[in-house]
Structure 1
Amino acid sequence: MGTLYLLFELFCRSRSRVILCQRVNPKPVPRRRNDESGRYQEVYSDEDILSLLEGTRLSTSEVADQLDCHRTTAHDRLTELEDEGKITSKQVGNTLLWEIQPQS
């Protein structure tokens, strides 16, 4: 489920309508503090990503949508898994398609 936007309508004294938009995240995002920078970063396990790619090829954006994370975060995690030899990527036009490394 993606980010929800809740709209609240308020009427000011001049009877003109004002709409405020508040971003609400429906589920907690997994995070961990980076020891070097002290900043929080999102965490997605290898198993989460590999289960998405089971028996199919997905683009970086499709993986990001299913993990409910930013495309850059998904790309970084996918690249880590590719460097470990667990998945492969293939450039198709402007898109990278990712799949589980075939067993030889």
Structure 2
Amino acid sequence: MGNPERDNETGKFTVKYPREDFLEAIRKNGGMAGTSDIAESIGVIRETAYKKLKRMEEDGEVNSQRVGNSLVWTIEGHSEE
């Protein structure tokens, strides 16, 4: 699914997952999805999904909202409110 890419700091190869995969995972879950649901949909561990989603949030592509002990993600401008 992902593309291998060398990490500039460690020199290790990592797998890069396209942002569109994360957006599509949110869409498939009705426009609102938890971190674990997104990770499972893409086939990554939860930590990988969380880090990618946080970067996407910083870039204004997605929003997060705490619901209980979980973060729920929505696509920027497409809130379910």
TM-score range, shorter chain: 0.7 to 0.9
* Pairing 1:43–2:30 present: no
Between 1 and 2, higher relative CO (CA 8 Å, sep ≥ 6) is seen in 2
Matched AA of 1:37: T
When normalised by structure 2's length, the TM-score is 0.83
- Is there any run of 5+ residues in structure 2 with no aligned partner, and where? none
Identity of aligned residues (%): 32
Give how far 1:36 is off.
2.3
When normalised by structure 1's length, the TM-score is 0.66
Note the 1:61-72 alignment, pairs <5 A: 61-72=36-47
Mapped partners of 1:36, 1:95: distance in 2: 30
Root mean square deviation of aligned Cα: 1.6
The structure richer in strand per residue is: 1
Note the 1:17-28 alignment, pairs <5 A: none
Q: 2:7 aligns with which of 8, 31, 34?
A: 34
Contact 2:4 2:15 in 1 (8 A): yes
* Pairing 1:96–2:79 present: no
Runs of 4+ in 1 over 4 A off after TM superposition: none
Between Structure 1 and Structure 2, whose CA radius of gyration is higher?
1
Mapped partners of 1:30, 1:71: distance in 2: 18
- Is there any run of 5+ residues in structure 1 with no aligned partner, and where? 1-27
Give how far 1:102 is off.
1.1
